[in-house]
Each structure stands twice: as C-alpha cells, then as structure tokens.
Amino acid sequence: MKQQRDGSWSEAPTVTLESHKTIPWMIEHRLKARPHDVCIERKSRFGSRWLPVTISEFHTDAKQIARGLVGLGLRPGDSLAIFAATSYEWSLIDVAALSVGIVVVPIYESDSAEQISWILEDSSIKLVVTDTAAHAALVESVRTKDLARTIVFDDDGLSSIYEAANDVAPSVVEGYQAALTADSLATIIYTSGTTGRPKGVELTHGNFVFSALTILKSEREIINVAHTRILLFLPLAHIMARIVFFYALASKGRVGHVGGTANLIADIGTFKPTALLVVPRVLEKVYNAAEAKSGGGVKLKIFRWAAQVAAENSERKHHGPIFRVKRSVARKLVWSKLTAILGKDCRFAVSAGAPLGKRLGHVFRGIGLTVIEAFGLTESTGPATANRPDSFVMGTVGQPIPGTAMKLNESGEVFLKGPHIMAGYHRNPEATAEVLGADGWFRTGDVGTIDRAGFLTITGRKKELIVTAGGKNVAPAVLEDKLRGHPLVSQVVVVGDQRPFVGALVTIDSEMLPGWLDTHDLPAMDAAAASRNPDVLAALQRAVDRTNKQVSRAESIRKFSIIPGDFTEDNGLLTPSLKVKRERVFERYGEYIEKLYGGELNEEPQGKKAK
C-alpha cells in the first residue's frame, strides 16, 4: 500500500478487466475448473436439511430459467424486477437474467407503493418476479404501461418460467450471452436513501467481475477456500448480500440462503457457516443477549471479566502462564457460550453499513471470531476498502482493495476511484455529475481519516455533521455508535445543529429490556414505563457519561430524551440496510428535539440539564 504524489492511497490491481469477463464468464470459469463443486446448499422446504447443489446443476438450472425469460418475451436490455426475500430462487433468477443481458432491478420487501411505482416507471420494468401474492398485489396496484406480467413463485418454484423455456432453443440464449461485454449494464439498484426519491445506480458486468475477482484474492482466507461456508440472511436487494453471493459462487466454497433473521440462530446451527455477512447491530444484539442471559450478581461479573479477558486476548497484552490460565477459564465459562450461538466453525464475520465498536470487535476476535470491517456503497459495487486477516487495524475499515484509489479532500470527505465504480445514475446525468467527476473520482459523502499505513476510519456522513451554535463540528456517528452498544438502547440520533449544545434522542430496546430489568432486580415493565423509571434513567445517564469520554466537552451529549416506539423499516425510520433516516426522525420527533432546548412537551426529556 503506497501513498501517491497526489495524496491518494492505492495498491496495484491483482486482476485485469477484459471485455469478455462478464458475470456468466466468471461462473463458467468455476464450472470448467471444478464442475462437481457444491456451490450452494439449499434449505429444504420442510425441516432443517440443507440440500447440495453443484455448480453444474446450478448452471443448468439458470440456463433453463434464462430460456424461460426469453420465452416470456424479454430481450437483452429489457428490465426485470425481483421483489422477494433472500432465497435460492432470488439468486437463480438474478444469474439467469444477467446471463442473457436482461437488466435486473431489485425491490426491497419494505419498499412502499410510491417507491415501487417510481422504480417500475424509471426502469421501464417489463416483468416482476415475486415470492408472495401480497407482493404481487402491491405491484399490480401501481402497474405501469411497460409492465407485461407479474409472476409469483408457486409450489413448484418457477414452473411458468420453466414451461416458457420449451419454446426457446438453447442457441438463442447462447447468442445473447456471447454478445455481452464487461461494459454491458447488469443491474440498476435504487439506493434506499435517507431522504428524497431513490436514485438508480447503474452497475455493469465489469463492475461485478472486478469486485469479485479482487476480493477472492485479497480475502482468500475468508471467502475462497474449499471449506468456506457463507450464510446469507440480509436482503439480496442490497449490494452487500448480492455481491457476497457472487463472491461465493465464483469461489471454491458454498453459500446458503435464509429469508431473514427470525430463525437465524437455528439456521446457523444447521448450516454451520465459516463466515457471516452482518450489520453491526446483529453482533451488538448477540453480545447483549449473551450478557443478559448470564444473569446478575456474581454471574454477571464473571461474564464481564471474561469479556475483558477476550479483549486483552485480542490486543495481545499478555502472554504469560497466568494469562493463559485466565484465558482457559474464560473460554470454558463464557466464551464457549458465545461461540455456540455463532457456531463453532464460524471464524469470520464481515461487517458493513456502520462502524462496530472497537472494544466489541476486540471481544469477538478474542473468542475466535474476527470481524472484518469494510467500507463501500452501492455506487462502488460493495467494498472499496476492507481489513484483511493479514493486514488488520481494529476500529478501521481497512485499506483500499487492490486496484482502488482513495483520497480525502480538504474537508475530510472520502473519494474513490477504480473499475468497480458505477457507470452513473439511471436517467439522471445531473445527479451523476454531482458525485462522479470526469477524472473518474467518486465523492462518497462520507467523512473519514487515513492513518500512516493507509487504513481508513469513517467518522460520519458529510451531510450529517453537526455544527453547534458555538461553531463546533460534531460527528454524530462517534457518539451514536458508542451509546447504541448499551443493552437498553435500540437506536440513538444525536442532534444539535445550530443549537447551543449536543443532545440525543434514544429509543428503548424492548427485546433486551426484560432481561436487563431481571438482572438488576427491577420489576417487569414496558418500554414506556422504563422511560420514566429512575433506575433506568440513571443507567442510561451512566452510559451517556461513558460515551462522552470519547469526545471533547463541546462535542459531548448534555441532555437526552427517551422517545416512544422504535425505528423500523415498517414505520419508515430505517433503511433496508438498517441505517436511520435522520430527516424522517427529525420530522416525527421534532417536538422532543425542541423540548431538549427549552420548548414545551407534555413529558420531560430525561438526562442532565445543560450546563
């Protein structure tokens, strides 16, 4: 990793991107090398069995679906939308469509009718494939003139598409595939965004291939060895889950799909992954749930002692015989329970979307689960920087992947350049010009710092930076990520732009609340009652005080307010990647914000008074 004369950081590319290197080429490369490789394990409809699918079987299945899509009237350049939970069928349709030049447009399960209507219209969708009648009805309620048909997975999977394949000769789809190039448009992904109408990110076959082949080399230990087992449960509509599927498909390992987190622990137990793709909140929940189950009193003290030993083990502060004894005891009493939740074979978790607390990262690495933090966007086809097992700095999102250049401007905004950067925003040249220069540099909107070795730390979004009335710049993510690690806290939004001090809106984690109350010998109560309970308020104030140690006094949280309810995708306050829609929160809870700064509200905000 070297810093160039222009101040950017980069490493030489490890792959060459040639015209013939497309997504189907990448899959067929594995097919030719190891045709009998099991590439996918498909969960049985009944029970917990995982059924092996070889790369040959998957390739044959995808070819049949591709013929069926052509038989239904689609041609290269046409757009197809997938509106469904993560599943084998989702990936199968995706690969099949891409293999004949059909442009795939994901729709999130949580998208509103208005958002779906915009996507259908903007991308001229001709066919929607979905997994439920309810989703199909939602699509039909906003049907556009270009939409020819909506297909629902039936009991036989995709029988209507298979039947349509009978009218199309294999040579037809082979011809369409042969015409593809690395520059061919593969997908339009509508960024969920936190404000405004979603923009359609155009990604090419070459974008996907470059990302996949690069990561398969730089992160080989995680993704590209024969025993690799990746369990996907995040939405395939999001770039991270989708690109990781292609990593797994093009590698030597295998991948499994589950449609959400409802039975995640059981699914982990039966699939036995070696790596998981997660957002930080999943790991925070795992840790907090384990701490709550430890109980109170002596057992809680033992849990926290063992967590500290794990952190020290990660940081390698001790090496002597006494520490080895402590480590052995901690592993037996506590660590084994955490590893049992994640599976004894799981050695890596790839975390993206938000920062993971540095201490929590050390705790997990100390027990044997290395959390690889990465940074990227839809516009960069997933990861642009990443830690690597052999090149790792806790608390950072790693160095640029080979072939990627990274730099900061004078305000600390992160810029990226490389073969994985999007072609542009669909039918929106003005928005494209705002972020993508003629020189190929893409402005991410994220603010960060780079250390002397080229490791990037993200400190927040540029548009989210708070400037207090006193002129102090505050990065809310630093405070929010630290405070959100408390078991009582579900979500945090730091406020204070053009205000005299920094405040925070906090929601109670209803799932963790009962266990926390029991551990602290407090009576059962709901979140509303907890928001007024002196012991709960005192615990949250202590958490705020600990959080404030991360920053200067001018940046510290002076007052906080517990607000009712929580942020979810369903109520429009979280994106599908679980990022808070800050503007929506400000609109909905504006009265609570005003009260923090002296306005009127029936309920008192909690926390210390401003000094």
Q: What is the pLDDT of residue 192?
A: 64
The answer to whether residues 270 and 392 belong to one domain is no
pLDDT at 602: 42
Q: DSSP of 115-138, one letter per residue?
A: HHHHHHHHTTEEEEEESSHHHHHH
Model confidence at 223, pLDDT cuts 50, 70, 90, reads very high
Q: What is the pLDDT of residue 603?
A: 46
d(CA 110, CA 129): 16
pLDDT of residue 611: 34
Whether residue 72 is found in the same domain as residue 216: yes
**Distance, CA of 117 to CA of 431 (rounded, Å):** 20
Q: What is the mean pLDDT of residues 546-566?
A: 92
- Residue 601: inside a domain: no
In a shared domain, residues 493 and 382: no
What does the mean pLDDT of the chain come to?
92
* Distance, CA of 159 to chain centre: 32
Residue 603 lies in a domain: no
Q: Which of 436, 462, 488 is the last residue of a domain?
A: 462
Residue 380 vs residues 99, 203, 376, 442: alpha-carbon distances, Å: 22, 9, 6, 9
Under 8 Å CB-to-CB from 37, ≥6 apart: which residues? 30, 54, 55, 252, 254
N residues, the chain? 611
Question: By mean pLDDT, which of 153-162, 486-495, 504-513 is the weakest?
Answer: 153-162
In the three-class reduction of DSSP (H, G, I as helix; E, B as strand; rest coil), residue 356 is classed as coil
CB proximity list for 147: less than 8 A, separation 6 or greater? 120, 125, 126, 127, 128, 139
Residue from 463, 372, 342, 374 nearest 413 by CA: 463
One domain, residues 245 and 215: yes
Q: Quick one: which of 389, 383, 386 has its CA closest to 369?
A: 389
Q: Where are the beta strands (DSSP E) in 468-584?
A: 473-474, 489-495, 502-508, 557-562
CATH of residue 82: 3.40.50.12780
Q: How many domains does the chain have?
A: 3
Looking at the structure, tell me whether residues 201 and 309 fall in a common domain: no
Name the band, by pLDDT with cuts 50, 70 and 90, for residue 193: low
Give the amino acid at 381. Answer: T
Nearest Cα to 449, choosing from 412, 480, 416? Answer: 412
Q: What sign for the dihedral angle of Cα 427, 430, 433, 435?
A: negative
Q: What is the per-residue pLDDT for 242?
A: 97
Smallest Cα–Cα separation from 419: which of 442, 450, 453? 442
Neighbours of 438 (CB within 10 A): 6
Contacts of residue 2, Cβ cutoff 8 Å, sequence gap at least 6: 9, 10, 11, 454
Whose structure tokens read 């990561």?
A: 215
235 and 151 both lie in a single domain: yes
Mean pLDDT of 222-231: 94
Specify the 3-state DSSP secondary structure of 96: helix
- Residue 600 pLDDT > 70: no
Same domain for 411 and 532? no
Per-residue pLDDT tens over the stretch 407-418: 999 999 999 999
Tell me the per-residue pLDDT of 494-520, one tens digit each, with 9 for 90 and over. Answer: 999 999 999 999 999 998 999 899 888
Within this chain, do residues 296 and 247 fall inside the same structural domain, yes or no? no
Q: Which of 274, 296, 324 is the last residue of a domain?
A: 274
Q: Do 262 and 115 fall within a single domain?
A: yes
Tens digit of each residue's pLDDT (9 = 90 or more) over 165-187: 999 999 999 999 999 999 999 99
What is the band of 610 on the pLDDT scale with cuts at 50, 70, 90? very low
Q: How confident is the model at residue 282 (pLDDT cuts 50, 70, 90)?
A: confident
Give the DSSP per-residue string, 239-298: HHHHHHHHHHHHSSSEEEE-SSSTTHHHHHHHH--SEEEE-HHHHHHHHHHHHHHT-SHH
Strands (E), 55-199: 79-83, 103-107, 125-130, 149-152, 185-190
Q: At what angle do helices 358-367 and 297-315 cross, to 10 degrees?
A: 90
Using only C-alpha atoms, the chain has a radius of gyration, in whole angstroms, of: 25
- The residue range of the domain holding 81 is 14-274
Dig out the tokens for 99 from the structure.
């293999």
Cα 557 to chain center, whole Å? 28
- Shared-domain flag, residues 289 and 365: yes
The percentage of the chain sitting over the pLDDT mark of 90, rounded to a whole number, equals 75
Q: Distance (Å, rounded) from C-alpha 114 to C-alpha 509? A: 30
One domain, residues 510 and 435: no
Segment 445-469 shows an average pLDDT of 92
Residue 2 falls inside a structural domain: no
Tokens standing for residue 209: 């291939």
Pair 228, 124 in one domain: yes
Residue with tokens 């015409």: 179
The Cα-based distances of 567 to 326, 511, 541 in angstroms read: 40, 14, 21
Q: List pLDDT tens digits, range 79-110.
A: 999 999 999 999 999 999 999 999 999 999 98
